[in-house]
């Protein structure tokens, strides 16, 4: 059985950790706030004080953190996981990050003689808990096969998209589209409210129409009921992903008008203090801005 290390036990990481433990994988976890890792001790995990310590005995080392800076902090430096990783281990970056950083990290991993995959995930908090995430993988096929047992333990689908950076690129495209769907829902709900429509009927109409996308299906009830706690995916992370996508588009000479508009709405929501709530709370920025 592969020995797994996990760096980051937030909303998604917690579900991943629980699945590895339930399926018998020896697991060591690290989180910047140690108290968030300690609940896994009762399930059989070891808790490390540094990423380097977490990585020391692992065959596969995963990170699930918030952004490029957080990723750098867990992988690099004297206490970083790469300093502790054994030769021939595989490191898997499952966070939603910029392809540029992913390729830089892959080069550094190669210099440490460890394999590398970028494998961001998609799915809700429930999917993480149930082990039914979908993975978007960039990297070579041999490294993917080496890490496959640990990957399959947390997922229902592994999509190999191509070389390193391909997974990160598609994840940004996936999330930028989700950000637009939610921003459009926010505008539609607020416009319906302003028009004095029966909102219960509006919700029913959306649910039975062509605009009822997967994101709308997940977030419609939250937005309509103004229920944003018990976060599945925080608004600040969706805002970050939209910004990363816009920066990537610039590299391709593209102007993403709809994503740019959505990003402005997420910025308004962040400015008004909704960043740590579920990203369905973007509708509150519209309600507030429109009085």
Residues assigned a catalytic role:
171
What gap in Å lies between CA 8 and CA 37, rounded to an integer?
8
| Rounded Cα distance, 102 and 104, in Å | 5
The residues, any chain, with a CB within 8 Å of residue 134's CB and separated by 6 or more, are 121, 122, 123, 127, 155, 156, 157, 158, 159
Backbone angles phi and psi of 215, in degrees to 5: -65, -45
Q: For residues 254 and 238, what is the distance between their CA atoms, to the nearest angstrom? A: 20
Contact of 273 with 246, CB cutoff 8 Å: no
Could you give the C-alpha distances from 172 to 5, 185, 246, 253, in angstroms and in order?
25, 20, 9, 16
In 3D space, the residue among 261, 268, 188 whose CA is nearest the CA of residue 236 turns out to be 268
Going by the DSSP 8-state scheme, the letter that residue 43 receives in this structure is T
| CA distance to 7, 14, 48, 151, 291, per residue, from 37 (Å) | 10, 8, 9, 20, 42
SS3 for 286? helix
Are 118 and 138 in contact by the 8 Å Cβ rule? The answer is yes
Q: Are 262 and 183 within 8 A, CB to CB?
A: yes
β-strand pairing of 4-7 with 27-30:
parallel
């Amino acid at each position: 059985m592969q020995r797994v290390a996990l760096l980051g036990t937030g909303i998604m990481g917690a579900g991943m950790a629980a699945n590895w433990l339930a399926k018998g994988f020896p697991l060591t976890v690290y989180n910047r706030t140690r108290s968030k890792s300690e609940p896994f001790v009762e399930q059989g995990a070891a808790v490390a004080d540094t990423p380097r310590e977490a990585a020391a005995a692992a065959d596969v080392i995963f990170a699930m953190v918030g952004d490029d800076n957080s990723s750098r902090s867990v992988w690099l430096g004297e206490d970083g996981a790469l300093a502790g990783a054994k030769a021939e281990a595989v490191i898997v970056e499952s966070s939603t990050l910029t392809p540029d950083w992913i390729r830089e990290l892959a080069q550094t991993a190669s210099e440490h003689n460890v394999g590398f995959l970028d494998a961001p995930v998609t799915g809700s908090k429930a999917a993480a808990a149930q082990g039914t995430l979908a993975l978007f993988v960039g990297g070579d096929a041999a490294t993917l096969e080496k890490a496959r047992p640990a990957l399959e333990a947390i997922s229902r689908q592994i999509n190999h998209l191509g070389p390193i950076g391909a997974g990160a690129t598609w994840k940004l495209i996936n999330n930028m589209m989700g950000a637009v769907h939610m921003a459009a829902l926010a505008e539609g709900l607020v416009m319906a409210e302003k028009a004095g429509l029966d909102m219960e009927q509006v919700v029913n109409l959306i649910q039975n129409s062509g605009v009822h996308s997967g994101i709308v299906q997940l977030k419609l009830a939250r937005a309509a009921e103004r229920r944003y706690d018990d976060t599945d995916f925080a608004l600040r992370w969706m805002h970050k992903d939209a910004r990363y996508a816009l920066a990537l588009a610039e590299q391709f000479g593209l102007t993403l008008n709809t994503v740019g508009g959505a990003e402005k709405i997420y910025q308004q929501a962040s400015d008004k203090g909704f960043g740590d709530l579920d990203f369905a709370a973007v509708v509150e920025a519209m309600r507030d801005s429109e009085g």
